[in-house]
Structure 1
Amino acid sequence: MDTEGPREAGADGPEPTAPQAPCSQGTYPRDPAFPAFPAPHPQAGGNLKLTNQKVRCTRGRLRHPIHFKVSSAASRCRGVARGGPPRLSPERTRQRPLRTRRRRAGPRPRARGPPRPQAPAAWASRAPPRPALRDATRPPACWCHVVIMKVLVMLLLSAVASGCRGNFSYSQPPKLLLVSFDGFRADYLQDYEFPHLQSFIKDGVLVEHVKNVFITKTFPNHYSIVTGLYEESHGIVANSMYDRVTKKHFSDADDKDPFWWNEAVPIWVTNELQENRSSAAAMWPGTDILIHNTTPSYFMNYNPSVSFEERLNNITTWLSYSNPPVTFATLYWEEPDASGHKYGPEDRDNMRRVLNEIDGFIGSLVQKLKLVGLWENINVIITSDHGMSQCSEKRLINLDHCLDPSSYSLIDLSPVAAILPKINKTEVYDRLKNCSPHMNVYLKEDIPNRFYYQHNDRIQPIIAVADEGWRIVLNKSSSKLGDHGYDNSLPSMHPFLAAHGPAFHRGYKHGTIDMVDIYPMMCHILGLPPRPHNGTFGRTKCLLADQWCINLPEAIGIVVGALLVLTTLTCLIVVMQNRLSAPHSFSRLQLQEDDDDPLIG
């Protein structure tokens, strides 16, 4: 017996005497045991109506209908028929407790009205068990894929961060030896055999081409290596120079005046100024000169007659036994430049002999470092200042045929002539411009920007640049069969770079770097603060063992690409799981917003 007593007939409207538009017959399989319009399930106690993707279960004893979503048209019928009155989700039940009527013991008295039709016995027997509702508090099935994706993203970001770390730690101060073989053209490595050098490269790194600075001559490029500056910035603009203000001259035989060198700070000066460090040099250009009142702690005055073995012995001794320790050292050798000028790079017999000798020097260098116990701990860079181009007695440009010698002063000669006019500058320029089709003539202000060769007072008002293989001479013939100084974009002017040591990768080859990029790389290896320079450290990162060589745009592209791949895989997995999973009668019971006071008997 209900607590509110038996209901009066018509209290909630007359009881329906026939099913009111039950579920469509097409949405439930027909069976002979079923009536054409099946009666409601005994537990449902009412009729079913399809309303806008919902099943509406109206019961005579409810004051309000209950609406709940279903997954398919077939489930609309089966869900109520085999499951009885739907249950509310735990969350909705906690939010609004349902008011129910307590039942008395024994059979419930029926409300007055016509008797309800009974469902066939086959209805209950054919109804499958009602599946349990999924707990709304459980995470979705794909939560593990989201976690995996986040972990992978964190690993990628940590890899980028680790790749951008600073200098690696040494148990002792890092040591670096810089070696230059003057005039070592890059393609000599492909044209001749170098067993010792190739063994050095196999366990280290190789840069196949180093783009040097214009003009491609010895003094300017050696100073660019150790300062990271273009010639217009460090002030050594040629092998022969003239300063119009001080009236001073510079040449390879008269280079001791610090005036010419003080416009830049070479790396050995920076290293000398650090605590508990010193530098050493064996005839590298400029190391025997007091630059900014500083020289290397150990150096040799330039003397071309001193053998390579003597220079090497001095360097290894200073690296091994000096106090404070020598952490940066330089070693210079004049070959194969001298032989390249004499024979030309295309004289294979003579050049093979000279280059075999140089390969032997490299073998001696490695053995000496192993003998004194430095090989495993020292970083060694072998490079050069420029290449060499083949010349001929038939490819000469004679300035005396174009200009009156009294109208100009020739400061530097061949293949880049630096000209100081004594008369009207425009007149000298016009005469030179029409002198030869194999020579480009520039006023100082019109020198191409790619040369970085304008902004220095030591650059003369007019320069003339010969084409590759051509030489600028005065009224006499030239005995040189090889020369350098040409346009620095020419492959024949490019040197190479090879490096070995704990700071470098093993067995790595790189295409091209700029000569000014060597300086910031050396500062990084030594842990020195670099002075202002024109180089780019990022171009040499791939050579270093402690650096990740992918730059920032590439790293961002990799991370974005990985996210896209992971997202695509996750979506595919979720779609496949949904296709393979069995259909549910309904996923969650929901009340309509207008059902503000439902009652369930």
Structure 2
Amino acid sequence: MKRGIHFLLLLISFTVFAQQATVDTAQIVIPGRQNTIEAQSKPYVIMISTDGFRYDYAKRYNAENLLKFSNNGIQAKAMIPSYPSITFPNHWSLITGLYPAHHGLIDNFFYDYKRNETYAMSNKKNAEDGSWYGGTPLWGLAEKQGLVSASLMWVGSASDAGGIRPSYYYPYHEKFTPSEKVEKVVNWLKLPEDKRPHFISLYFPEVDGSGHHYGPDTKETENAVHLIDHAIGDLVQKVNDLGLKNVNFIFVSDHGMIKVDGGAPLEIPAVLFDKSRFDFYNSQTLLRIYVKNPAEIKSVYKELKAHKTEDYEVYLDKKLPRYLHFATRDDQYHRIGQILLIPKAPKIFLEKGKKTSVGKHGYNPKVVPEMKATFYAWGPKFKNNLVVDEFANINVYPVVAEILGLKIDQPIDGKLKVLKEILKEEK
């Protein structure tokens, strides 16, 4: 196991070296920020996301630290991602308490027909433009109420979404190793009380990268799980050594992972390549169709439905199951499209000449259990030795707000009552 971790660290080091010449790694500090006197006495929350950390990975791959900490705190049987189970939509759901169709990040890539602009997760200009993002992220809620926050690479944290950035943050890059991220979090917690962040969000991409490249059931993904587990153990030990009171940890992921059938992909219906009539957006586990002439929607739907195979479903967006919160009635930003083609796992849609990865996500987590995510929590605010049933990820937001004593200042989809039982009662 140690040999595998060392190899993964070496691989990351080579990647880091290759990026050195082009990546700006400097921390950005917003001047003039400080905790109010009241905020200085509040608890701390460190919210950690490990991308693609499937709900069963910790036990499957014996993540010793995560199992130890969560066994003494809170373990969810699984956490249900918002649909689609894709990275950007779900990170923003976790940090705003809103479903993707309500906060606007409905995919990693989409077109906004009102703005006449494309959003792409890899576009730095998009990523740092808060006008794309709906809702109030937890760091913004904290800052507006006099509590200093910090973020290491969480989706949207380099933007002014919600009107305010974290006091300390970094533009996104993948140059830092997990151990370097741990040191940066610890250094934030060493700051004087008036400058010390009480809400910290932290992101690790390594497990998702291994799951995509090698698949979820491989030694490489197991090694990535151990790499992050080691980092979490190191983080907890170093934070404990600081002697701070009331530090609480929440470990989450955005989605799971499944090995897909890349060797026999589904063909995209030929009619959709008529660009004068349609735009389509293919994440391979979901294909969204925008029909340019609204009068054609029903006839196109019937045509697609009549010629579909048993390997995928065709939905009018307004007919999508209500529990997915991804239909026309939910689409507050009009970004989804009117017709959806949804492959049955492990099938994917793939344009000719395009490549795919070994592992993927994006499927309906209610139908494909491999999409389910992880939720663990431990610290003075959480009960001990409690296992809870599955719940939707939008419900994490009100729990963090409750711990930090923050007043939620606009409607959200998450409900505190869903997870109220995991918190210790105030004496």
Q: TM-score, normalised by structure 2?
A: 0.83
User: Residues 557-581 of structure 1, C-alpha deviation per residue, up to 9 Å, x if partnerless?
Assistant: xxxxxxxxxxxxxxxxxxxxxxxxx
Are 2:320 and 2:326, in contact at CA under 8 Å, matched by a contact in 1? yes
Say yes or no: does 1:449 pair with 2:322.
yes
Are 1:403 and 1:428, in contact at CA under 8 Å, matched by a contact in 2? no
For 1:449, the aligned partner's letter is R
Are 2:186 and 2:239, in contact at CA under 8 Å, matched by a contact in 1? yes
Q: In 2, distance between residues paired with 1:479 and 1:444?
A: 26
SS at match of 2:165: coil
Say yes or no: does 1:273 pair with 2:144.
yes
Q: Looking at CA atoms only, which structure, 1 or 2, has the larger radius of gyration?
A: 1
Q: Quick one: which of 214, 217, 231 aligns to 2:83?
A: 214
User: Residues 451-499 of structure 1, C-alpha deviation per residue, up to 9 Å, x if partnerless?
Assistant: 1112221111222111121111111353311111101213211111111
Q: In 1, distance between residues paired with 2:246 and 2:395?
A: 23
Q: In 2, distance between residues paired with 1:542 and 1:485?
A: 30
Shift of 1:427: 4.2
Q: Quick one: which of 149, 155, 168 aligns to 1:285?
A: 155
Say yes or no: does 1:417 pair with 2:290.
no
Q: Which has more helix, going by share of residues?
A: 2
Q: In the superposition, relative to structure 1, how do residues 188 and 547 fare at CA in structure 2: closer, same or farther (>3 Å)?
A: farther
SS at match of 1:216: coil
For 1:385, the aligned partner's letter is D
Aligned to 1:532: 411
Aligned to 2:226: 356
Q: Quick one: which of 355, 359, 362 aligns to 1:485?
A: 362
Are 2:246 and 2:381, in contact at CA under 8 Å, matched by a contact in 1? no
Say yes or no: does 1:370 pair with 2:247.
no
1:11-30 alignment, distance < 5 Å: none
Aligned to 2:342: 465
Are 1:520 and 1:535, in contact at CA under 8 Å, matched by a contact in 2? yes
Aligned to 1:227: 96
Shift of 1:297: 0.4
1:42-61 alignment, distance < 5 Å: none
Q: In 1, distance between residues paired with 2:323 and 2:358?
A: 28
Are 2:301 and 2:339, in contact at CA under 8 Å, matched by a contact in 1? yes
Stretch moving more, 187-196 or 172-181 = 187-196
Say yes or no: does 1:496 pair with 2:369.
no
Q: In 2, distance between residues paired with 1:466 and 1:271?
A: 40
Q: In the superposition, relative to structure 1, how do residues 192 and 264 fare at CA in structure 2: closer, same or farther (>3 Å)?
A: same
1:57-456 alignment, distance < 5 Å: 172-254=41-123, 255-261=127-133, 263-275=134-146, 277-322=147-192, 323-347=194-218, 349-374=219-244, 377-399=246-268, 401=270, 403-406=272-275, 407-422=277-292, 424-433=296-305, 434-454=307-327, 455-456=330-331
Q: In 2, distance between residues paired with 1:395 and 1:377?
A: 52
Q: In 2, distance between residues paired with 1:476 and 1:170?
A: 55
Stretch moving more, 380-389 or 445-454 = 445-454
User: Residues 421-473 of structure 1, C-alpha deviation per residue, up to 9 Å, x if partnerless?
Assistant: 34633343334322322111112222221111122211112221111211111
SS at match of 1:305: coil
Q: TM-score, normalised by structure 1?
A: 0.60
Q: In 2, distance between residues paired with 1:402 and 1:471?
A: 18
SS at match of 1:238: coil
User: Residues 536-558 of structure 1, C-alpha deviation per residue, up to 9 Å, x if partnerless?
Assistant: 2122122111179xxxxxxxxxx
Q: In 2, distance between residues paired with 1:479 and 1:460?
A: 23
For 2:246, the aligned partner's letter is N
Aligned to 1:474: 351
For 1:512, the aligned partner's letter is E
Shift of 1:231: 1.3
Q: In 2, distance between residues paired with 1:479 and 1:417?
A: 15
For 2:393, the aligned partner's letter is M
Shift of 1:187: 1.3
Say yes or no: does 1:514 pair with 2:401.
no
Aligned to 1:35: none
Aligned to 1:103: none
Are 1:382 and 1:497, in contact at CA under 8 Å, matched by a contact in 2? yes
Shift of 1:220: 0.8
1:558-597 alignment, distance < 5 Å: none
SS at match of 2:390: strand
Q: In 2, distance between residues paired with 1:395 and 1:504?
A: 47
Aligned to 1:543: 422
SS at match of 1:342: helix
Q: In 2, distance between residues paired with 1:400 and 1:212?
A: 29
Q: In 2, distance between residues paired with 1:452 and 1:267?
A: 22
User: Residues 264-284 of structure 1, C-alpha deviation per residue, up to 9 Å, x if partnerless?
Assistant: 111111100113x21100000
Q: How many residue pairs were aligned? A: 376
Q: In the superposition, relative to structure 1, how do residues 518 and 203 fare at CA in structure 2: closer, same or farther (>3 Å)?
A: same
Shift of 1:223: 0.9
Q: In the superposition, relative to structure 1, how do residues 421 and 171 fare at CA in structure 2: closer, same or farther (>3 Å)?
A: closer
Shift of 1:401: 4.7
Q: In the superposition, relative to structure 1, how do residues 394 and 388 fare at CA in structure 2: closer, same or farther (>3 Å)?
A: same
Q: In the superposition, relative to structure 1, how do residues 427 and 473 fare at CA in structure 2: closer, same or farther (>3 Å)?
A: farther
Provide the identity percentage.
29
Are 2:282 and 2:349, in contact at CA under 8 Å, matched by a contact in 1? no
Are 1:416 and 1:486, in contact at CA under 8 Å, matched by a contact in 2? yes
Q: In 1, distance between residues paired with 2:231 and 2:274?
A: 45
